[in-house]
């Protein structure tokens, strides 16, 4: 029997989908929610801090903060092939946060990217076989995308 937990971090991040058929081709931003879903066995080792847990929620938060939030919060994520956007962004001050990625920054692709950033940091403790099952990305209150292992 396994248990699953979820923890999320939110970011304010800009992007555009350069070849989109409607307004998403324009520069805009979202209040993204990156939510990690972790599966494993509950720690049964007596006396340890994680007893009764899969993983401490604060440890999950730390991973999400370092590897997702601190990378894309108040940044503009741009596809490396979007020359027009890259030219515009290159004209901004040197402290502007531009994150260049090898994919069009849709919610679906950001979910996969986030999974790849977080997965190496989900470590099994006390033999409880932890694994990152999915990353869920909310782009708007009505729109989610998920990437499953």
For residues 144 and 111, the answer to whether their CB atoms sit within 8 Å is: no
Q: Which residue has the tokens 């066995």?
A: 41
3-state secondary structure of 109: helix
Question: What is the count of structural domains for the chain?
Answer: 1
The parent domain of residue 92 ranges over: 3-148
Residues 103-140 pLDDT 10s: 999 999 999 999 999 999 998 888 889 999 999 999 99
pTM, full prediction: 0.94
CATH number at residue 60: 3.30.479.10
The backbone torsions φ and ψ at residue 13, rounded to the nearest 5 degrees and listed phi first, read -135, 140
- Condensed to tens digits (0 to 9), the pLDDT of residues 4-44 reads 999 999 999 999 999 999 999 999 999 999 999 999 999 99
């Amino acid at each position: 029997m396994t248990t699953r937990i979820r923890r999320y971090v939110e970011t304010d991040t800009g992007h555009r989908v350069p070849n989109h058929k409607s307004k998403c081709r324009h520069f805009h931003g979202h209040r993204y929610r990156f939510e990690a879903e972790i599966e494993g066995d509950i720690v049964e080792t007596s006396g340890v801090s994680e007893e009764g847990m899969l993983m401490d929620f604060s440890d999950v938060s730390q991973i999400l903060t370092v590897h997702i939030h601190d990378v894309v919060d108040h940044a503009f994520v741009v596809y490396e092939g979007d020359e027009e956007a890259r030219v515009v962004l290159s004209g901004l001050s040197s402290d502007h946060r531009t994150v260049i990625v090898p994919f069009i920054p849709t919610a679906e692709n950001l979910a996969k990217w986030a999974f790849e950033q977080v997965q190496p940091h989900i470590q099994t403790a006390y033999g409880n076989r932890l694994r990152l099952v999915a990353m869920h990305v909310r782009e708007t209150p009505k729109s989610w995308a998920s990437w499953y292992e």
